Structure 1
Amino acid sequence: MTTLRLGMAAILLLLVSRPRIAGWTRAQWRSVATFGVIMAGMNGSFYLSIERLPLSAAVAIEFVGPLVLSAVLSRRAIDLAWVSLAVVGIGLLGVESLTQTGSLDPLGVLFAVIAGSFWALYIVSSAHVGQRVPGTGGLAIALAFATVVVAPLGMSGLTVAFEQPLLLLPTLGVALLCSAIPYTLELAALRRLPRSVFGILLSLEPIIAVLSGWILLGQSTGRLRLAAIALVITASIGTIVTTPKIPRGTQPPLEPAYSPQRLQERGVGGESTDHVRPQDVVG
């Protein structure tokens, strides 16, 4: 599933972005390749964790990665307060999972912790790719790298999928809705938001998963889970409200120095900037 998801998402984004890779520098290639390996590790270890753990427990454990990253990157006391509030909310989800499912598979917990570590690295690496490679070409190539990394482990599953072609259509939907679209939106967000803020805003992902399971799948939701949802949503809203406003005329925190707008201001390049190297841009 991981191999098909990443591979189909890579094909879709490559068709849309058609990156001009001939002019990429070694630094750009290194960033994109690293990003691809991290995505492979994040997706692969998460699927290995939910093979052994309930989904709610796996997500709660995995989310420790972005929360720790937010705490490390935060410089203001209010940011740390919101992170702490989100940690309490995610902790309540973990407590609920433990009380409902009893003992958890230690190997599944280990895979969830590894997935969380890769998730934190994903945030940092995605920001670097967003800075160094304009457009979505870097993401498309990174997904191709990720597919190559996980392909040896997913070959048996690929055989089953192609023997039953009807499985490919829902897999394409998963690739579109779980990889191509969200990764593109996250890349765009990281070009405009500090990584500390982005990390805690990701806390909405497990909460939306809980709500979707409750509304769409009829999964029960007790008081503990509702309290966790309220805490994490409060932390996310608080992060947005207390984020310092960026004055007009200044650059967003993660916008690359060689973005199309900056290049046009300097009179550099034409319609496409894929061929422009960072060292060619002064300032």
Structure 2
Amino acid sequence: MPLKNSLLLLLTATVWGIAFVAQSVGMDYVGGFTFNAARSLIGSAVLVPLIFVFGQKNSSGAPSSDTSVSPSQNRKELIAGGIICGIFLCLASNFQQFGIKYTTVGKAGFITACYIVIVPVLGLFLGKKCSKLIWAAVAMALVGLYLLCITDGFSIGKGDMLVLICAFLFSAHILVIDYFSPKTDGIKLSCIQFLTCGILSGIPALIFEHPDFSSILSAWKPVLYAGVMSCGVGYTLQVIGQKNMNPTVASLILSLESCISVLAGWIILGQRLSTKEILGCVIMFAAIILAQLPQKQSA
């Protein structure tokens, strides 16, 4: 398992963890659909110059990622993959956004991060097997997330159910990216998925939230961070980092965003960590290390 891929996904988790601050602040100014539409369209626009730059480099004689298929077939797969990824991203991000309204941030973080369990379970139906070591890492990560995120009694309410649906949708998003990312250009795939997510989020935003330009401008800082860093940088790094990587291990690394969001609150906002939360972070990091120890390949 290439170290480079793991580091790219760790960087992704860092960007996403810090983005929780921007996400919560942005909701003070605009509705959830409007926020997701704006950030996704910005993320798509940010990637256009990168596509041009890398396209110029590739045209100087670099071979395509798959020479066995025609350019038109590659184009169809890229567009289809981008649209499918965008649909799942749109559904997942909006379910999460509105779920947070009706539950605590700690519960939302824990339930969302349950995709570390959902991904390998769904992967079994797609023929993706995992070793006992990875299953042990998943169990450890769940314990760590519980200690980190759950501070009071655990019960299922309206918001919890919305975020649980979001966790299943993010699991599907990870598996869809796992399917398309080795076959297509990562930056182009990411650009199309953001454009799709932005358009789909924009439709209910116009119908239900009636956004005005001044309210979006007033939220320019959180929207810009979420658009440029969380979308443009973060999800593109996810697409590139997941290439030829076990999706279960990828989901474990990405779930570190929960740890990083708490650590960011401690470092940036001065929020102290309890002994229980520190223990949760330690167990989470140990789970990630365990998942990446050398092991026999499963067919």
The alignment's TM-score, normalised by the length of structure 1, stands at 0.76
For residues 93 and 178 of structure 2, what CA distance do their matches in structure 1 show?
A: 18
Counterpart-to-counterpart distance in 1, 2:259 and 2:197: 27
Counterpart AA for 1:39 = L
| Deviation for aligned residue 1:206 | 0.5
Give the structure 2 partner of residue 257 of structure 1: none
Is the Cα–Cα contact under 8 Å of residues 47 and 232 in structure 2 kept in the other structure? Answer: yes
* Match for residue 143 of structure 2 among 81, 88, 94: 88
Note if contact 1:66-1:119 (Cα within 8 Å) is conserved in structure 2: no
Is residue 273 of structure 2 the alignment partner of residue 241 of structure 1? no
Q: Does 1:12 align with 2:46?
A: yes
| Pair 1:127-2:178 in alignment | yes
CA displacement at 1:6 relative to structure 2: 0.7
Map 1:24-63 → 2, pairs under 5 A = 24-63=74-113
What secondary structure sits across from 1:132 in the alignment? coil
TM-score under structure 2 length normalisation: 0.72
CA offset at residue 244 of structure 1? 6.2
Residues 1:39 and 1:243: Cα distance change in structure 2 (over 3 Å):
farther
For 1:1-283, what aligned pairs fall within 5 Å after superposition? 1-18=35-52, 23=72, 24-70=74-120, 72=124, 73-96=128-151, 98-99=152-153, 106-155=157-206, 159-163=211-215, 165-242=217-294
Cα distance between partner residues in 2 of 1:16 and 1:119: 26
Instruction: Assess if the C-alpha contact under 8 Å between 1:6 and 1:179 holds in 2.
Output: yes
Structure 1 counterpart of 2:24:
none
- Once the two structures are superposed, what CA deviation does each residue of 1:93-112 show, in whole Å capped at 9, x if it has no partner? 3432x34xx866x1110111
**Identity value in percent:** 17
Structure 2 counterpart of 1:139, which letter? Answer: S
* Structure 2 residue identity aligned to 1:146: C
Aligned-partner Cα distance in 2 for 1:163–1:228: 38
Q: How far off is 1:161 after superposition?
A: 4.2
The separation in 2 between residues aligned to 1:225 and 1:40, in whole angstroms, is 31
Unmatched segments (≥5 aa) in structure 2: 1-34, 56-70
CA contact (8 A) 2:181 2:240 kept: yes
Q: CA deviation at 1:128?
A: 2.1
Give the direction of change, closer, same or farther, for the CA distance of 1:168–1:197 in structure 2 (3 Å limit).
same
With 215-224 and 184-193 compared, the bigger mean Cα shift is at 215-224
8 Å CA contact 1:53–1:108 kept in 2: the answer is yes
Q: Aligned partner of 2:183: which letter?
A: R
Unaligned runs of 5+ in 1: 246-252, 254-283
1:35-81: per-residue Cα shift (whole Å, max 9, x none)?
Answer: 11001011111111222222222011111123321355442111111
Q: Aligned partners of 1:158, 1:12: CA distance in 2, in Å?
A: 25
Cα gap change, 1:75 to 1:163, in 2 (>3 Å): closer
Distance 1:89 1:163 in 2: 38
C-alpha RMSD of matched pairs (Å)? 2.6
The alpha carbon displacement at 1:231 in A equals: 0.8
SS of 1:131's partner is coil
> In the TM superposition, what whole-angstrom CA distance separates every residue of 1:137-163 from its partner, at most 9, and x where no partner exists?
111011111111111222365723445
